[in-house]
Structure 1
Amino acid sequence: MIDLVIQFLPMTAADEAQIEKLDERAFGPGRYARTAYRLREGVAPDLSLSFVARVGTLLVGANRMTGILVSTTPALLLGPLTVEPAFRSQGVGEKLVKHSLDAARAAAHGLVLLVGDLDYYSRLGFAQVPRGKIVMPGPVDPDRLLYCELRPGAFEAASGQMRRV
Structure 2
Amino acid sequence: MFQLGPETDNDWWEVEALFDLCFAPGREALSSYRLREGVAPLRALSAVARDRDGGVAGAIRFWPVRVGGAPTLLLGPVAVHPTHQGEGLGGLLIRDSLARAEAEGWERVLLIGDLPYYRRFGFARMEGVEFPPPTNPDRVLGQALHPGAWEGVAGPVTSFAEMATEGQQAPAGRG
TM-score between the two structures when normalised by the length of structure 1: 0.92
Q: Structure 1 residues 47-56 or 118-127, which shifts more?
A: 47-56
Structure-2 separation of matches of 1:83 and 1:41: 23
* Deviations 1:110-158 (CA, angstroms, capped at 9, x unpaired): 000000010110000101112xx11112210111100010011211131
Structure-2 separation of matches of 1:73 and 1:13: 29
1:148 aligns with 2:143: yes
Q: Which residue of 2 aligns with 1:120?
A: 117
Q: Which residue of 1 aligns with 2:34?
A: 38
Structure-1 separation of matches of 2:88 and 2:154: 32
Q: Structure 1 residues 144-153 or 34-43, which shifts more?
A: 34-43
1:103 aligns with 2:94: no
Deviation at 1:33, TM superposition (A): 1.2
Which of 15, 28, 35 is the aligned partner of 1:19? 15
Matched letter for residue 54 of structure 1? R
1:70 aligns with 2:52: no
Identity of aligned residues (%): 43
Q: Which residue of 1 aligns with 2:85?
A: 88
Could you list the runs of 4 or more consecutive aligned residues of structure 1 that deviate by over 4 angstroms after TM superposition?
none
Structure-1 separation of matches of 2:49 and 2:37: 23
Q: Which residue of 1 aligns with 2:152?
A: 157
Tell me the matched-pair count: 159
Structure 2 stretches lacking a partner, 5+ long: 161-175
Structure-1 separation of matches of 2:45 and 2:88: 19
1:51 and 1:99 in contact (8 A); partners too: no
RMSD after superposition:
1.0
Structure-1 separation of matches of 2:124 and 2:68: 20
* Deviations 1:14-59 (CA, angstroms, capped at 9, x unpaired): 2111111111111112201111122112211111011111013201
Matched letter for residue 31 of structure 1? R
* Deviations 1:35-90 (CA, angstroms, capped at 9, x unpaired): 11221122111110111110132011000011111121000000001110111111
1:19 and 1:62 in contact (8 A); partners too: yes
Which of 47, 56, 69 is the aligned partner of 1:59? 56
Deviation at 1:10, TM superposition (A): 1.5
Structure-1 separation of matches of 2:88 and 2:34: 28
1:9 aligns with 2:1: no
Structure-2 separation of matches of 1:81 and 1:28: 13
Structure-1 separation of matches of 2:154 and 2:123: 17
